[in-house]
Amino acid sequence: MSRSRLFQPFTVRNRRTVALILLMFALYSTLSVALSIRATGRSRHRAVVVQVAARQRTLAERYVTDVLLARDGMPSDPASTASLLSESADVLINGGEAPAVDGDDDETDLPPADGAVVRLQLRQAQLLVHDLIDTGNAVLAKESVDSLPERASEDITTDDPVQRLRILSAMTSNVSLNVARTIAVTTDENIAALIRLQMVLGAVGVLAALLLGWALIAAIRRQTAHFRSLVTASTDLVLVFDNNGCRYASQSVTSMVGKSEADLRGRAFAQFVHDNDQTMVQLACLRGQPREFIFRMRNRLGEWRDLEGHLTDLREDRQVRGVVLNARDITERVKLEEELTRHAFHDGLTGLANRALFRDRLDQALARSTRASSPFAVLLVDLDSFKEVNDSLGHDAGDRLLQEVARRFAGAIRVSDTLARLGGDEFVLLLDDGREADAEAAARRLLASLAEPVSVAGRDLTLGASIGIALHAGGPGDSEDLLRHADVAMYAAKEAGGGQSQVFRDAMGRELGEMLGLQHELRQGLQRGEFVVHYQPAIAIDTRAVIGVEALVRWQSPTRGLVPPDRFIPVAEASGLIHGLGEFVLQTACMQASQWGADGLLPENFVTWVNVSGKQLSAGHFSAIVRRALHAAQLDPSRLGLEVTETAIVTEGPSGERARDELKEIHDLGVLVALDDFGTGFSSLGQLRRFPIDVIKVDRSFIQGAEHDAKDAAITANVASLAHALGLVAVAEGIETERQLTLAHEFGCDVAQGYLFARPAPAHEVSALLAEALTVADTRPTS
Ligand code: C2E
Ligand code: CA
Ligand code: CA
């Protein structure tokens, strides 16, 4: 469900309610203003009608005077008064323009009369006016009034025309007065009705507004409840801070610490934060910076939990006015990281430091020595005739032997010294502050610790060791050089019969020459085409189908025989030869994949994986090299995958930056990316999300260790689920036995690779394997 779909209904509903309320008010206001305007307009008209009606009274009186004056031969104009009277009487009934009267008002527009009573009265007034004018005319003509019609049926008994004129005038005045009175009364009634209507309208309006307002409040309540449930039901902790400390804590916070919200308010919140994190958290919540940090909080059981906090500064937001802290419990992730780090820096078999940690300690010792000119020593220990034990008594016996040796060595050194297992039967000791005499004494103690026989597999074995010592007098130096010197001295000790130690002397430097010779030979080998690429299949665990191959380079040296990559890749990297070598492998693998495709040997989604050294990535134009190789081989980018190690892309600084940029560019082409040897050089799981990765290859030490070590098993299972959580495919490397395959399957790995299925082999052997897989697939009944 999308977020916007979740929230929109609320917004729309509220807006509608508000709009409805506004519409109601607008409607009511318009209605009541219109009514008032109409009512005012009508009363104004009525006032004019009243005025004109009242004027009829004056006009009737003036007419009588005019007639009498004219009869007596005095100047006057009864005719025009008569026409004023009769026109006004018409207009009062039918509406129209009332004529102007001298000394009175201007012409006025009148509406036709409404209301039955008024019309009747006006009609009577009109008839009276006509009778009045008839009588006036008879008086002026000195005629009798007997025969005059009585339109208004006034029943006047007198024969005296003047008397009759006066009576008719008085009647006209009277009726006009009645008209005015009737109009005034209806106006009053109308106004009273209007007031009643307005009151009803007002009451209905208030009711409607109340109803709508109630609907609005209900909608807002619902929305608030929805937000509250989002906040409280969320497992994320939500806190709001202002200058006085914590102002709000969500239910998840209170249930985590087992206190009420009131117990967390203000400064009280700090007591649940770890002492070492308090200042940071307080400052961050005060300033809204930094946006992300990790801190520890005590839960109700008194355990410290690791939380990842995200700050949102809403101090300017009027609704919030505070800094919002969202925090998520990442304790399990941190634990996994610590486990991975432990695994990355410790040897799974013996629990000693591993090569990576040793290199780190050695670099630190060199840095100290550069500053303080302090001397130190490196002792490289190789067990004599361990290989024979391993071969004759088996790997398990060999493993137990190594564990016992590690235990004894650890008991023979000072805690300040670093003891590490470099791999196989090779151990190394870093002797802080050690001079030659100290180093030799330490070597003697190590050898003495092996004097007692070790009992393994029912046999008592007496082991010897050869120890090479490299001394660093103080000042700057190179860790590679030191290790190589110790190696040379160790070989010298071995040459001399074993069971002893030798201090490196410059005369032994011939071995260094050997190293340089190797570089020279590698260069020549590259020119002479002594390198070949072998391929190892990758198998989908659930279907057992071959879904890809990993290209692995081999060196067929005419003088050294078949040299494994572990021996020459580091030399190639150190000398820069890796660029030429890497490009050769990439081109060869692309060509081969394209050929397999053309031969119709590849199932859908088959990927050919090529190992890439960090040196190649950080050199800066690797994406162009990849594009060229794809183009030359006419290979679809999605058919190619690159395997890179964590160290190559996690590295800080400009070279790491370049490597990441190159990788992103290549990934954008559609080429897949795998993180190789996952778990051996690890820094932070959180970082994984930042890199363009499709596949995680879990280092073979995990799967192989998982057989004996519950911790390794737990890590592998976690790594696989983490990979899935990030949408990545998890590959288990180095599967040698069915049991390891079962474990890998149980841990949730999707793909497996290892000797159990196939060793790395030349292309033509893999072609045969692919062809065979195809025929098997073809003969399988389709379901
Ligand atoms: P890697 O990338 O971890 O390659 C897997 C190594 O594990 C290969 O060793 C392979 O032969 C070995 N292996 C496969 N299955 C099993 C198994 O079941 N058990 C055991 N014990 N080992 C297994 P290989 O070919 O000796 O290569 C060693 C390393 O050399 C590779 O490790 C890779 O880091 C590096 N490498 C190989 N070819 C190239 C290359 O073309 N370029 C670069 N830069 N590095 C390469
Ligand atoms: Ca690899
Ligand atoms: Ca690997």
- How many other C-beta atoms lie within 10 A of the C-beta of residue 291? 11
Asked whether 570 lines ligand 1 (CB < 6 A), one says: no
Of 689, 684, 600, 585, give the one whose Cα is nearest residue 642: 585
Residue 582 near ligand 1, beta carbon < 6 Å: yes
- The residues placing their C-beta within 5 Å of ligand 3, an ion, are 676-677, 733
316: which 2 tokens? 């300017």
pLDDT for residue 780? 57
Which atom of ligand 1 is nearest to 565's Cα? 30
Residue 565 Cβ < 6 Å to ligand 1: yes
Label residue 735 by pLDDT band (50, 70, 90).
very high
Predicted local confidence at residue 29, as pLDDT:
81
Higher pLDDT, 776 or 646: 646
Query: Span 388-404, mean pLDDT?
Result: 86
**Residue 382 backbone phi and psi in degrees, to 5:** -125, 125
- Residues 226-255 have a mean pLDDT of 83
- % of the chain at pLDDT higher than 70: 94
Ligand with smallest separation from the Cα of 740: 1
> Which has the closest alpha carbon to 430: 406, 448, 413?
413
Q: What does the pLDDT read at residue 231?
A: 67
Kindly report each contact of residues 67-71 with a partner whose C-beta sits within 8 Å and lies 24 or more positions away, as own/partner.
67/136, 67/139, 67/140, 67/165, 68/139, 68/162, 68/165, 70/140, 71/139, 71/140, 71/142
* pLDDT tier, 181 (very low <50, low <70, confident <90, very high otherwise): confident
How does pLDDT run across 129-175, given as a tens digit for each residue?
A: 999 999 999 888 888 888 888 887 878 888 888 888 899 899 988 88
Going by alpha carbons, the residue nearest to atom 37 of ligand 1 is 552
- 288 vs 736: which has the higher pLDDT: 736
Q: How far does residue 753's CA lie from ligand 3's centre (Å)?
A: 10
pLDDT (0 to 100) of residue 783: 43
Per-residue pLDDT at 9: 32
Neighbours of ion ligand 2 (CB under 5 A): 611, 643, 676
Q: Could you give phi then psi for residue 358, rounded to 5 degrees?
A: -65, -45
754 lines ligand 1 (CB under 6 A): yes
- pLDDT digit string (tens) for 742-755? 999 998 999 999 99
* pLDDT of amino acid 122: 87
Mean per-residue pLDDT, 94-122: 78
pLDDT in tens, 454-466: 888 888 888 899 9
Note the pLDDT of residue 470. Answer: 95
Residue of 355, 522, 552 best suited for mutating to test ligand 1, as the one with most atoms within 8 Å of CB: 552
What's the gap in Å between 313 CA and the centre of ligand 3?
Answer: 44
- The whole-number pLDDT of residue 8 equals 34
Ligand nearest to the CA of 697: 3
Q: Is 699 in the pocket of ligand 1 (CB under 6 A)?
A: no
DSSP 506: G
Give the closest ligand to the alpha carbon of residue 643: 2
Q: Say what the alpha-carbon torsion angle 513, 514, 515, 517 is, to the nearest 10 degrees.
A: 90
Residue 111, preceding bond cis, omega within 30 degrees? no
- d(CA 525, CA 713) in angstroms, rounded, equals 42
When pLDDT is averaged across residues 750-762 and rounded to a whole number, the result is 96
Nearest atom (ligand 1) to Cα of 612: 44
- Ligand 1 near 736 CB (within 6 A): yes
pLDDT at residue number 160: 87
For the CA of 585, the nearest atom of ligand 1: 41
pLDDT tens digit sequence for 691-721? 899 999 998 888 888 888 888 888 888 888 8
Q: How many CA atoms lie within 13 A of 341 on its CB side?
A: 9
Give residue 1's pLDDT: 37
- Report whether pLDDT(515) > 70: no
Sheet holding 418-423, edge to edge: 418-423, 426-432, 376-383, 465-472, 501-503
Contact 45, 103 (CB under 8 A): no
CA 378 – ligand 3 centroid, Å:
29
Residue nearest to atom 41 of ligand 1 (CA): 553
pLDDT beyond 90 at 31 = no
Q: Could you tell me which residues come within 8 angstroms of residue 387 by beta carbon, excluding any fewer than 6 positions away?
A: 425
Mean pLDDT, to the nearest integer, of 53-74?
A: 88
Tell me what pLDDT residue 6 has: 31
Please, what is the average pLDDT of the chain? 87
Residue closest by Cα to atom 43 of ligand 1: 611
- Using CA atoms, how far residue 21 sits from 216, 538, 740, in Å, is 9, 69, 71
The verdict on the CB of residue 536 being under 6 Å from ligand 1 is yes
Q: Are 431 and 420 a contacting pair, CB within 8 Å?
A: no
The pair of three-digit structure tokens given for residue 177, joined into one six-digit string: 């007065």
Q: Which two tokens stand for residue 686?
A: 């959180």
Ligand 1 binding pocket includes 611 (Cβ within 6 Å): yes
The more confidently predicted of residues 32 and 329 is 329
Between the CA of 676 and the centroid of ligand 2 the distance, in Å, is: 5
* pTM confidence score: 0.55
C-beta separation of 461 from 455 below 8 A:
yes
Interhelix angle 510-528/565-575, rounded to 10 degrees, is 90
| Of the candidate ranges 231-245, 488-502, 557-571, 583-597, the one whose mean pLDDT is the lowest | 231-245
Distance 727 CA to ligand 2 centre (A): 20
Mean pLDDT within 335-363:
88
Q: According to the model, what pLDDT value does residue 4 have?
A: 32
pLDDT at 11 over 50: no
Could you give the CA distance from residue 110 to residue 527 in angstroms, rounded to a whole number?
A: 118
Mean pLDDT of 610-635: 95
Model confidence at 578, pLDDT cuts 50, 70, 90, reads very high
The percentage of the chain sitting over the pLDDT mark of 90, rounded to a whole number, equals 42
CA distance 42 to 54: 18
